[in-house]
Structure 1
Amino acid sequence: MKKLIIIITLFFSVVAIGQNYKTHMVTNGETIESIAKKYKVSTNELYALNPDAKTNFNQDMILIIPDGNADAGEVKETRAFVDYKKHRVKRKETLYGIAKEYGISVDDIKKHNTRLYAENLQKGDKIQIPRFKTVTTQEVKVNNTIRKYKVQPKEGVWRVAYKFNISVAQLESLNPDMGLILQPGQELNVPNIDNKDEKRFEEDYNYYTVLKSEGYMALNRKLGVTQEELEAINPELKEDGLKLGMIIKVPKTSKTTLVVEDIVNTNLSSKLTNFKEKKIAVMLPFRTAKLNLDAIDETKKKIRTDALLSASLDFHAGVLMALDSAKQLGISTHLKVFDTQNLSTEVAKILRDNDFSDYDAIIGPMLSENLNQVASELRKDNIPVLSPLTMPINLFDNVYQTIPSSELLVQTMINFVKSDTQPKHVVIISDSKNKVISDKLKGEFPSAKQVFSRNDKEGKEAYYINQNDLVNVFRTGRNIVFLETMNEGFASNVISMVNGMSTSSTQIILMTTDRNKAFDGREISNYHLSNLKFHYPSPNKTTDISSTINPFVRDYRRIYNVSPNKYAVRGFDLTFDLLLRLASADDLYQASSEDIETEYFENKFRYAKKMYGGYYNEAVYIVKYEDLTIVEAKL
């Protein structure tokens, strides 16, 4: 038997060499990377031919090597687009001179600034200079190492990379032209591994891409998962450890996108360095075509009754106030305002008739569908598009979601309660439509008591509880009551009941993760909410404008003869923050790191970047009712 094994081994070696392969014995100190470099092949090719090397790489191991000298094809260098650098054209500059300065061709510049095909270069023009990275590839005529793979429905870049146990960067190197968005049926080059070695995507887990310099302690702080837990569900970590770009499974309970931490607010007004004129566009649904400006009374009535028009006008007023405040800091702005008419056809016309390639940012459109249209079109020019009041449909890599998500609001509320070290007892009251959030809160606070609304005689939900449902539920001391509902009648029933049960010895504090219209209804008593110190998460805090001496409010009253409402305040805060960020860096992307948190009149902003997408605001307030006013809650 031993002779048979030797004969088979020798036969395999001879056949391998005959097919333009050779072997290599691993010596002390060698790595897969150093061997791949020595033979001018990729690590993926080595792993494809030597799958055991992934988990059992050791000295004296015999590796099969593609014979680069005998079978390697032509070495090719291709360029892959990275990003843009802004360039302001100086007097007498030409396209040829600019191209030579940046080491690219004139055609490269024109392709990324299409108006230059028809227009001459002018002094003061801001153009985008494409930057490329050089990708070196070598044609390998070894059928066993790399194979073609057809992308399946719902598969994205990271999922394909995970499936074949490579990083996204490695997948990109195998497919320089694959693009950010994969299409079903698209063919990709992937390592030729056995089907049984392909990793299967499991819905029961979240997935996380390891960032630069991240170790187990960093992941524990960020995700709340220990090294032992990670190694248990990712056995390869025991051998390979954590590596940049690798995709790992993490428990479903891990907060892979919602890492909420308090940081010190940044005063950007003291960090201004970029005083070039900022070019901003604002797109709002004024729908002026429907206004008869000759009929003053009719127009005034329209402004009062048309909520969309009123919000647009107020937001625009706040934008103008922000430009004036920024000007006092030395920041000049070129602003262009567009009326989208709240029509996709009008948005398409705006995009068709205007060149936004040299704009620093676009605010709006206000509604999600129209914003998605603008963001998708301007992706090719990498122009930031800010969603001012709504949640974007797609968080493209150039989109800024300025309103925190509902998931983030929930997590911030949970973190707030957990951070309170005082003794407390948690009670969760909800209707059946909110059972999911009730169960989530139960998971976060295992000792909490859950109470659900009652059903009527026919078994339908009646949206009420009675006194018996709360017998022995509350304890002496502090009781935190989460009320989760969108039904005003149920909210009124519960609020009235728990308010009557709150005493000096049994204190009840009312909270919710979602303050919706149910808490604003006529049947809801603000006196009860104030008595219960009602807490909830909010994208903004409410300021008592009547008593404030804030310069913005003072100037707004002077100009418009009224106090600013929430839309005007939002327009001011968002635009002022945008201008300060643009003036503190080369562009908005550079000024959007997670360690920068800014706060203005009623809003604050701290942007985090989605792994394969755009930016979202993760700055959230916890506010509460106190003495019939709403104030920021502090621990």
Structure 2
Amino acid sequence: MKYFFLLFFAFACVDAASAQDYVKHKVSKSETVTQIAKKYNVTPFDIYRLNPDAQNGLKENDMLLIPSVKGTGKSKPRTHLVEQGETLYSIARKYDVNVKDLEKVNADIVKGGLKKGQTISIPGGTVDAVATTSETKIEKVVATANMHIVQAGETKFSIAKKYHLSVAELEKQNPSITSGLQTGMTLRVASETRTGNASEPIAERPKPAIQEITVPAKTETEVVRKPVRTGYANYEVKSGETLFGLAKSFNLSEQQLIDLNPTLKDGVKTGMILKVPSKGSIAAAETRKDYTDLTKVAKGGDKKKLVLLLPFNAAKISADTTKATAERLKKDAFLNLTLDFYSGALMAIDSAKTLGLNIDVKIYDSEESKASSKVIDIIRANELKNADAVIGPFYQQHVEKAAEELNAANVPVISPLSKESAKKFSNLYQAMPSEQYTKKMVLDFMVGKGANIVVVSDPKRTSNREFITTNYPDVKFAEVDPSGSVSADKLRALLVKDKQNYVVLDTEKTGMILATTNLLLNEVANFKIQLVIIEPNETLDFEEISMKRLTVLKLVYPSMTRDNDSASAQGFRDAFKAKNRVFPNQFATRGFDVTFDTMLRLSQGKSFADSAAEQKTEQVESKFDYTPKDGGFVNKGIYILQYNEDLSVKEVE
């Protein structure tokens, strides 16, 4: 049906074109849509609207229909109402005009600087009012059919993020955007792994071209083993060793180790002699300092009971027809998130079986929404007070009810996804560090370095300012006027010679970010400066904020996950792809990490609580370092990462 609407709309567009004045244009060699649009004083969108095939690229002698702005009788001068934080550059990009041309037609306004509420002229004649109406209509119709109209100011990253794609996937579906986006383009945005809700982004930050940086690269790496296949040797299996642990130690996948030693299909036995890479060909696997590889000391032991409370809400689905279920899977982001987490958890259960862990896993439908759940009924009906650990439910208010219900029995309840600050129960473990705790970790890191800390803060972001001044009284704040402008002299006066200066940027305003980083770039030759953010900031992902300035300033930022290219991590991704036909997204990986970490802790010959108190761990993307906090437990496993000038990202030391 959606294809019927697309065809109907395409014919409607042609009819609309025939009803208004237009001219024909024959494409010259190497001519682009942007150049043609400027020539006729129209927008690229106007051309794509009448010539949808043009989004796939132009060829010499192609014939295009160009709307005539003079023929409608409904044209009006192009103007723009300035919004807070906008710059000449961002406005010029929005209308696809040159900044110098914009300055020429607004000389009086530009002289005094842009201000919110000003109306400025846009060079290029007039804009067709009917075209504007059609643009809105196209946005609504095409978006329902896995298509997207590029709006002014959008980037490949922001579009990929909106539709749960990687930039690579977006470019693969739309080869014409490889060299750049143009306003008005119609893009395909279909994805097998898309959850259908733009509020749950999973797109990865695009990797910029290395050619941008001219400074010689100095690469630092955290690789802990380097295989050089020069021969093989014999290895005797020791007591307690597992297939998973052995494969990891020799930087092989489990299947590669089995291929070398077919007898492993029957299980790992103490005293077995295995064929492995020779002694001189591979370095012994190292574990990150203070972190324990629980797979190496996992024990069978007495059977443990693990319970997962996941919000499938199956009662709603069972009442649906097959068609309605398919539609729900397209639109219900929360259900897709649950299924992704569940698929990752199943991979963890499979890995536990491979390790020989003696764990009985029960999975119950928590039937939860923000307003209600069946959690308490499930706990009481299934005697979950006898469980050794419970993962879930997802919503913070429901996981707190579960912890309260199981508190007397001292059953650990792990909250897998919520970042909210929790009510304190002695058996509640927050697997996701809260936003407040993330800020604290970054600030503690800077204080621990004995550095000079300066904050450039948006005047409206009062909560972060109060948090910093209350807990870190020695931190300095740069003077910022109500419009967000920072005095170069006053900022420079706060920096200290011959000492590390961390400048914390606490704003999402593009203009303020550009102005502050420009000031810092001018001072990097005089001071040791690093730019810092204490929480995620999506504005830094816009193309207007170039990657180069962030790498030169060696941006430091917090993250709950890290890129992991180790053999074991790649093995997980490959196994997940083989089983589910797609690579795992962030929620599937989270499901694996939380579940596998919990199962390993239950298999150490001690309780989950004892393991959480004594052992720090790392899984595929996340680390788990539970610490007591106000009567409960919070995971302080935050990665503090840094951009380097060679475009690499590494964990700071």
The alignment's TM-score, normalised by the length of structure 2, stands at: 0.49
Secondary structure of residue in 2 paired with 1:583: coil
Mapped contact 1:395–1:401 kept (Cα < 8 A) = no
Question: Match of 2:611?
Answer: 591
Structure 2 counterpart of 1:570, which letter? R
Q: Which residues in structure 2 correspond to 1:495-534 (within 5 Å)?
A: 496-498=517-519, 500-501=521-522, 503-506=524-527, 508-520=529-541, 524-534=545-555
Question: Match of 1:405?
Answer: 434
Change (3 A) 1:495 1:630: farther
Question: Match of 2:349?
Answer: 323
Mapped contact 2:300–2:603 kept (Cα < 8 A) = yes
Q: Distance in 1 between matches of 2:321 and 2:398?
A: 30
Secondary structure of residue in 2 paired with 1:590: helix
Structure 2 counterpart of 1:513, which letter? I
Question: Match of 2:295?
Answer: 269
Q: Distance in 2 between matches of 1:474 and 1:606?
A: 34
Q: CA deviation at 1:416?
A: 2.4
Question: Match of 1:137?
Answer: none
Secondary structure of residue in 2 paired with 1:576: helix
Change (3 A) 1:485 1:504: closer
Mapped contact 2:625–2:635 kept (Cα < 8 A) = yes
Q: CA deviation at 1:535?
A: 0.8
Q: Which residues in structure 2 correspond to 1:413-424 (within 5 Å)?
A: 413-420=442-449
1:539-574: CA deviation from partner (whole Å, max 9, x where unpaired): 3324469x9962111211211222222211211111
Structure 1 counterpart of 2:625, which letter? R
Question: Match of 1:556?
Answer: 576
Secondary structure of residue in 2 paired with 1:280: strand
Choose the corresponding residue for 1:569, options 581, 585, 589.
589
Structure 1 counterpart of 2:459, which letter? S
Mapped contact 1:438–1:484 kept (Cα < 8 A) = no
Secondary structure of residue in 2 paired with 1:552: helix
1:170-202: CA deviation from partner (whole Å, max 9, x where unpaired): xxxxxxxxxxxxxxxxxxxxxxxxxxxxxxxxx
Q: Distance in 2 between matches of 1:606 and 1:615?
A: 10
Q: CA deviation at 1:622?
A: 0.8
Q: Which residues in structure 2 correspond to 1:248-259 (within 5 Å)?
A: none
1:190-224: CA deviation from partner (whole Å, max 9, x where unpaired): xxxxxxxxxxxxxxxxxxxxxxxxxxxxxxxxxxx
1:18-68: CA deviation from partner (whole Å, max 9, x where unpaired): xxxxxxxxxxxxxxxxxxxxxxxxxxxxxxxxxxxxxxxxxxxxxxxxxxx
Choose the corresponding residue for 2:423, options 370, 394, 408.
394
Give the unaligned 5+ runs of structure 1: 1-261, 456-461
Q: Which residues in structure 2 correspond to 1:201-216 (within 5 Å)?
A: none
- Percent identical residues: 29
Asked if 1:621 is matched to 2:650, the reply is no
Secondary structure of residue in 1 paired with 2:610: coil
Asked if 1:601 is matched to 2:620, the reply is yes
Mapped contact 2:417–2:432 kept (Cα < 8 A) = yes
Change (3 A) 1:355 1:551: same
Q: CA deviation at 1:466?
A: 5.7
Change (3 A) 1:279 1:377: same
Secondary structure of residue in 1 paired with 2:390: strand
More contact order relative to length (CA 8 Å, sep ≥ 6):
2
Change (3 A) 1:469 1:632: same
Mapped contact 2:479–2:487 kept (Cα < 8 A) = no
Choose the corresponding residue for 1:429, options 451, 456, 459.
456
Change (3 A) 1:492 1:296: farther
Tell me the C-alpha RMSD between the 2 structures.
Answer: 3.5
1:115-166: CA deviation from partner (whole Å, max 9, x where unpaired): xxxxxxxxxxxxxxxxxxxxxxxxxxxxxxxxxxxxxxxxxxxxxxxxxxxx
Question: Match of 2:652?
Answer: 634
Question: Match of 2:365?
Answer: 339
Question: Match of 1:354?
Answer: 382
Structure 2 counterpart of 1:580, which letter? L
Q: Distance in 1 between matches of 2:493 and 2:635?
A: 41
Choose the corresponding residue for 1:454, options 474, 478, 481.
481
Structure 2 counterpart of 1:631, which letter? V
Secondary structure of residue in 1 paired with 2:592: helix
Mapped contact 2:430–2:635 kept (Cα < 8 A) = yes
Question: Match of 1:157?
Answer: none
Secondary structure of residue in 2 paired with 1:334: strand
Mapped contact 1:534–1:625 kept (Cα < 8 A) = yes
Q: CA deviation at 1:610?
A: 4.2
Question: Match of 2:395?
Answer: 367
Change (3 A) 1:582 1:518: same
Q: CA deviation at 1:429?
A: 0.6
Secondary structure of residue in 2 paired with 1:410: helix
Would you say how many aligned residue pairs link Structure 1 and Structure 2?
363
Give the unaligned 5+ runs of structure 2: 1-287
Structure 1 counterpart of 2:608, which letter? L
Q: Distance in 1 between matches of 2:289 and 2:330?
A: 41
Secondary structure of residue in 2 paired with 1:275: coil
Q: CA deviation at 1:534?
A: 1.3
Q: Which residues in structure 2 correspond to 1:225-240 (within 5 Å)?
A: none
1:292-336: CA deviation from partner (whole Å, max 9, x where unpaired): 797667645543543322221111111111111111111143222
Secondary structure of residue in 2 paired with 1:396: coil
* Higher CA-based Rg: 1
Question: Match of 1:581?
Answer: 601
Q: Distance in 1 between matches of 2:346 and 2:647?
A: 29
Q: Distance in 2 between matches of 1:341 and 1:560?
A: 25
